[in-house]
Structure 1
Amino acid sequence: MTTDDTYTAGEKEILHAGLDRHRDAVLWKLQGLDDEQLRRPMTPSGTNLLGLVKHLASVEYGWFASAFGGEVEPLWFDPYTDDDLSIGPGETTQQIIDFYGRARAASDAVITGHPLDSLGHPDWRDHPVSLRWVLVHMVEETARHAGHMDILRELIDGTTGDHPRATGTV
């Protein structure tokens, strides 16, 4: 969440706050919907709200924790296929939300524990990446999918925006 302090903070704090803002919007997009609505395929490719959350958790673990030697939990799906975008019948909404929370916590530990110029080594790349690059990339990735979620949510129940609006405001 952006606060008055964020506007004049250092580079890492600003990037982290931007990532958190979009992460919070992702979770807000799920609020008030039932399990069927969260799983409902809304595009010909099967894109659904809960699948996007699962994907974002997977890429957070990969780009932050795995690349920078952090704690990564064993995955029950193949993150290199579309498995991370789909929800299986045995996967629960709470399981996916909790997975995203743990991925965020693992990523936050990397962000706070390393300088921006630290180099990570993703096992699927043949070159290192800086924490600065990963933070910018994950702000982009999360914002992109939060935008997808905004469209899906509007199609489901008409709700728009990136945060709840106070009653009686414009």
Structure 2
Amino acid sequence: MTSQDVQGVTGTSGMPYAGGEKETLRASLDRHRDAVLWKLEGLDHEQLRRPMTPSGTNLLGLLKHLGSVEYGWFVQAFGGEVEPLWFDPYSAEDMWVGEDEPKTRIVEFYGRARTAADHMISTLPLDALGHPAWRRDDAVSLRWVLVHMIEETARHAGHMDILRELIDGKTGDHRPR
């Protein structure tokens, strides 16, 4: 589901102007999710992996990280099944991509994480409580996780926007219509 699939009146950004709370939060998250995928379009193997900051941040690593946190916050925290990971997200291995990790593997991983997260969002009420593995004593509501993941995804979409501009000059927070 993309933000364009949301029922009701929507603005030019696909955001529902008169939607309910969950619908609005989901549409906001989807808008940023779509933007991070758009940032990868048209780039080659080297450009996707090119370290653009002293810390080594690159476009494909940011997408891998976002897939990892979608699984962690939406799925694992609420008792869903997370696919076996080939990296350790607790040691920041989700921020880096190896030469043996093709773009398709990372994009498909992100897509599966997004689908699994969407299932949890669709089936749980906003007041449902989850327990992230790294904070077992802290309960978090689905509402809180949605807000947190909107912030997380928007933050990294902004990083990706800057990296993309440095690579080829393309900017923007969403695909031009």
When the two structures are superposed, what TM-score results if normalisation uses the length of structure 2?
A: 0.91
Secondary structure, aligned partner of 2:17:
helix
Find the aligned partners of 1:138 and 1:119 in 2 and give their Cα distance: 15
C-alpha contact 1:39 1:51 (8 A) present in aligned 2: yes
How many residue pairs get aligned? The number is 166
Identify the residue that residue 171 of structure 2 maps to in structure 1.
160
Verify: 1:49 aligned to 2:75, yes or no: no
Does structure 1 retain, via aligned residues, the 8 Å contact 2:67–2:110? yes
2:35, 2:175 within 8 Å by CA — same for their partners in 1?
A: no
User: Where does the alignment leave 5 or more consecutive residues of structure 1 unmatched?
Assistant: none
* C-alpha displacement of 1:89: 1.9
CA distance in 2, matches of 1:52, 1:139: 15
Work out which of the residue numbers 141, 151, 156 in structure 2 matches 1:140: 151
Q: Greater relative contact order (Cα 8 A, min sep 6): structure 1 or 2?
A: 1
Query: What is the Cα-based RMSD across aligned positions, in Å?
Result: 1.1
Residue ranges of structure 2 left out of the alignment (5+ in a row): 11-15
Give the match's secondary structure for 2:115. Answer: helix
Q: 1:98 aligned to 2:129?
A: no
CA distance in 2, matches of 1:67, 1:133: 12
CA distance in 2, matches of 1:68, 1:99: 19
Cα shift readout 1:42-98 (whole Å, capped 9, x = no counterpart): 001000000000000000000000001112100110101121000012111100000
Which of 38-47 and 2-11 deviates more? 2-11
| In 1, Cα distance between equivalents of 2:127 and 2:20 | 14
Say which SS state the counterpart of residue 89 (structure 1) adopts: coil
Percent identity of the aligned residues?
72
For residues 66-81 of structure 1, the aligned pairs below 5 Å read: 66-81=76-91
Contact 2:74–2:145 (Cα < 8 Å) also in 1: yes
